[in-house]
Structure 1
Amino acid sequence: MSDDPETARQIAELASDDRPLLVLDVDEVVLEFVQPFMRYLESIDLELGLATFSLFQNVVRRSDRQKVEPSEVAEHLDTFFAVQAEWQTAAADAAETIARLSRNAEIVMLTAMPHRHRPVRRAHLDALGFPYPLLTTEMPKGPAILKLRGPDKRPVAFVDDIPKNLLSVRDFVADAHLVNLMSYGAMRAVMPPLPADIAVADDWKTAAPSIEKALGI
């Protein structure tokens, strides 16, 4: 099952695979996001602060320091996704590390973004050396990963920067190995505390060993 019917449709198109499953968020995990988005906002005279762990509550106008309404931030984010190839680069060591893991595991990228941006993101990931299947979702990620796992209890690992996404997966796939990875480490200072059973990694070099152990590869 999946709460998002379009995500379920995308999952149904995937070829069957019984290898251990590694599901990866894209922004801040596979691609740099926070710093490129900061630069994008600066180009339109806006600024993202780090007062709280919230993308939509911390944008101000550089000219007068007035807060930008979340609805307007959402519009800027939507525009950013449309031109992401001009701003986003691969996270450090991501391409090499994921390629190594893909020799013995099924890799699927699961990104929380409007479905209409999937073709642009697909092309950009391909250009950066990430040819793995890409799913988009506009709903919580837990149901999608439960469906991706399939009926067999194969090992599952999931890497994401957002606590609520990791917790969603834990609710649906209780034995999944969960890893919190953030390319822009400064966000950790304002991030809510993580449960003890979620591994924390500062980069791909530190994330890989625990993933390999959890997946048995």
Structure 2
Amino acid sequence: MVTDLLDIDHVRLRDRPLVVCDIDEVVLEFISPFTTFLRANNYDLLPRSFRLHGNIVSLLDGTEPDDTVISDFQESFFTTQDQWQIPASGAVETLAALSDDVDIVFLTAMPPRHQPVRRALLDRFELGFPMIATVQPKGPVVAQLHGARALPVIFIDDIARNLHSVREYVPECLLITMMANADFRAFAPAPSEGVLSAASWNEAAELIRAHVRR
């Protein structure tokens, strides 16, 4: 059962397949620009495991900041994301081509207070698809979007818990895991059963088109 429904009246779906797509590390680069941001603040992000905490270190003395400092860094980064983030390789042209045949909705795990800055950033790069920013689990949101439509639905994300959440609430959904940063992608857990992996937007597009043609 879907609870805590979001206000998604701005999303208008047509009678077409639906692609719901995460943003950070999928549509926009996150790891590389966040690393640049940290270095500007005398910290670095080291690719030692598939997480932020434990991998951020001071450039001055090598110490690791506590969780509060990391949260402050993330808040500051998202506040100024338009100064740092750029599209992932292939994202703009691939999504534009896919949009001829499918509806596309961005679903980003980000506090809604940052939505205006991200909306402007996406529009700057001609990524004008509807966007939902929420810290809620993604499964219920995709279920709310898709409803009872007898049409293909696809979800793309780089984080396993988000993919698993969608699988729980929308079991018929095609799940694709994809991550732009190759260094951290190497530490990602192997996809669970039923989750397909794409190393690029070209590969993701092939999986989407094959699923839609079934």
Smaller-chain TM-score range? Answer: over 0.9
Note if 1:137 corresponds to 2:134.
Answer: yes
Structure 1 counterpart of 2:41, from 44, 57, 73: 44
Structure 2 counterpart of 1:128, from 118, 125, 130: 125
Long gaps (5+) in structure 2: none
- Distance in 2 between residues matched to 1:89 and 1:137, nearest whole Å: 21
Kept in 1: contact 2:13–2:103 (CA 8 A): no
The DSSP-based 3-state class of the residue aligned with 2:186 is: helix
* 1:151-205 CA-partner distances (Å, limit 9, x unpaired): 2232110111111111111111111111111110111222222113211111101
Q: C-alpha displacement at 1:150, in angstroms?
A: 1.8
Q: C-alpha displacement at 1:129, in angstroms?
A: 1.1
Tell me the residue number matched to 2:178: 181
Note the 1:1-217 alignment, pairs <5 A.
3-5=3-5, 8-9=6-7, 11-216=8-213
AA in 2 matched with 1:187: F
AA in 2 matched with 1:192: P
AA in 1 matched with 2:128: P
Which moves more between the two structures, 139-148 or 195-204?
195-204
Q: C-alpha displacement at 1:16, in angstroms?
A: 4.1
- Distance in 1 between residues matched to 2:117 and 2:184, nearest whole Å: 26
- Distance in 2 between residues matched to 1:191 and 1:93, nearest whole Å: 21
AA in 1 matched with 2:181: Y
State the TM-score, normalized to the length of structure 1.
Answer: 0.94
Kept in 1: contact 2:178–2:200 (CA 8 A): yes
Kept in 2: contact 1:57–1:70 (CA 8 A): no
- Distance in 2 between residues matched to 1:138 and 1:3, nearest whole Å: 14
Long gaps (5+) in structure 1: none
Which moves more between the two structures, 186-195 or 197-206?
186-195
Identity across the alignment (%): 39
* 1:11-49 CA-partner distances (Å, limit 9, x unpaired): 233224221000110011110110000010000001112
Sort the Cα spacing of 1:4 and 1:31 in 2 relative to 1 into closer, same or farther, 3 A: farther
- Distance in 2 between residues matched to 1:4 and 1:112, nearest whole Å: 16
Kept in 2: contact 1:157–1:215 (CA 8 A): no
- Distance in 2 between residues matched to 1:98 and 1:143, nearest whole Å: 24
State the TM-score, normalized to the length of structure 2.
Answer: 0.95
Q: C-alpha displacement at 1:2, in angstroms?
A: 5.3
- Distance in 1 between residues matched to 2:112 and 2:54, nearest whole Å: 24
Kept in 2: contact 1:3–1:140 (CA 8 A): no
The DSSP-based 3-state class of the residue aligned with 1:12 is: coil
The DSSP-based 3-state class of the residue aligned with 1:178 is: strand
CA RMSD of aligned residues (A): 1.5
- Distance in 2 between residues matched to 1:213 and 1:163, nearest whole Å: 23
